[in-house]
Amino acid sequence: MSVAGTTVEVGARTAVGRVREHNEDAYLVRDRVFAVADGMGGHAAGEVASALAIEAMDRLSEHDPITPELVVAAVSDANASIIEAGLAERRRRGMGTTLTGVALIGPASARRWLVFNLGDSRVYRFADGRLDQLTVDHSEVQELVDAGYITRTEAAIHPARNIITRSLGLELDPEPDVWDRDPSGEETFLVCSDGLTGELRDAEIARILADAPSAQAAADLLCAAAEDAGGRDNITVVVVRAVTAGD
Ligand code: MN
C-alpha cells in the first residue's frame, strides 16, 4: 500500500494598502480550502460580497472528500447569496467579488489540487525556482493579450486593467474556471488579489517566495513589498507551502 500524503504549511495576510479607506478583500484559510475574494461595490458593499463568497467556500470543509462538483456548487451558492443580499438592500445592489483559490480534493489517500477562479485575483505556483500563473484573468486586458493586441507587460499598466469580465454577484451562475492537478514534491501556491500583482513584478514575487523562511513570513513580506511599491489597492496574500510524499 502506498503511503502518499500532502501536508501543508499556510500563511496569510491582508492589508488595506496606502490609498483605500476600506479593505474589501477577504480570504479563507481552512483545512483543505484556501481562497481570496476581492469585493467591489459602493457603500462598503464590496466587503459584504467578498465575505459572503468566503463564507460559502468555508462550508466546503464539512465535506471529505471535497469533489470538483462540490467546489463548483459552493461557487454557485456564493453567487446566489450575493445576489440575494443585493436584492434585499438597495444600496448593495450591483455588488460583486472575484473569487479564486486552491482546494485539496479527493480522499485522504489520494489528494489532488483543484484550482478555481472567477475574476482577476490569481493563483500562482512556485516550484524549483519557477513562478507560473495558473489562473487566467477574466478581464478585458487578458482578452487583448489573448488576441495578440498587447503584451502581458503592457496589460499590467493598461488603463482598462481593472475591468473584469466575469465575477460573482453580477450574473446568474457565472462559470468558474477549474484546473485539476496532481500534487508533486515541494510546491508553493500563492493565492492573491490584484493589489499584489498590480504592484510587484513576477520576479520580485518569486524572489520573496524563495527567500522567506516560512509561509507566514512570505505572506507578510509580499504584503509589505506591495505597500512599499505604492499600495494603491487592498492587498491579500495566502501562501500554501505543500509537501507531497511519494510511495
Ligand atoms: Mn483589488
pLDDT band for position 120 (50/70/90)? Answer: very high
Domain range list for the chain:
2-244
- Distance (angstroms) between ligand 1 centre and the Cα of 88 equals 25
Ligand 1 centroid to 1 CA: how many Å?
Answer: 46
| Cα-based distances in Å from 230 to 19, 155, 198, 218, 239 | 8, 18, 10, 19, 21
Query: Cα of 130 to ligand 1 centre, how many Å?
Result: 25
Give the chain's mean pLDDT: 94
Q: What's the pLDDT at 2?
A: 43
Q: What is the pLDDT of residues 54-76, one digit of tens each?
A: 999 999 999 999 999 999 999 99
Q: Compute, in angstroms, the gap from residue 8 CA to the centroid of ligand 1.
A: 26
CATH of domain 2-244: 3.60.40.10
One-letter amino acid identity for 225?
A
At residue 242, the pLDDT reads 97
pLDDT surpasses 70 at 247? no
- Give residue 233 CA to ligand 1 midpoint distance, Å: 6
Helix (H) or strand (E) holding 116: strand 112-118
For residue 3, pLDDT beyond 80: no
Mean pLDDT of 130-138: 97
Q: How confident is the model at residue 4 (pLDDT cuts 50, 70, 90)?
A: low
Give CA–CA dist 56/184, Å, rounded. Answer: 28
Cα(194) to centroid(ligand 1), Å: 5
pLDDT interval class at 94 (50, 70, 90): confident
CA 168–ligand 1 middle distance (angstroms): 14
Q: Which three cell numbers stand for residue 192?
A: 492573491
- What pLDDT band is residue 143 in, cutting at 50, 70 and 90? very high
pTM: 0.96
Q: How far is the CA of 38 from the centre of ligand 1 (A)?
A: 5
The pLDDT-based confidence of 245 (bands split at 50, 70, 90) is: confident
Cα 128 to ligand 1 centroid, rounded to whole Å: 29
Residue 64 CA to ligand 1 center (angstroms) comes to 32
**Cα(16) to centroid(ligand 1), Å:** 10
CA of 109 to the centre of ligand 1 (A): 37
- Positive or negative, the CA dihedral 49, 50, 53, 54 is negative
| Cα 23 to averaged position of ligand 1 atoms, centre (Å) | 9
167-171, 189-193, 207-211: which has the minimum mean pLDDT?
A: 167-171
Cα(167) to ligand 1 centroid in Å equals: 13
For residue 79, report the distance from its CA to the centre of ligand 1, in Å.
Answer: 18
Q: What's the gap in Å between 97 CA and the centre of ligand 1?
A: 9
Confidence of residue 1 (pLDDT cuts 50, 70, 90): very low
* CB atoms inside a 10 Å sphere around CB 149: 11
Per-residue model confidence (pLDDT) at position 194: 97
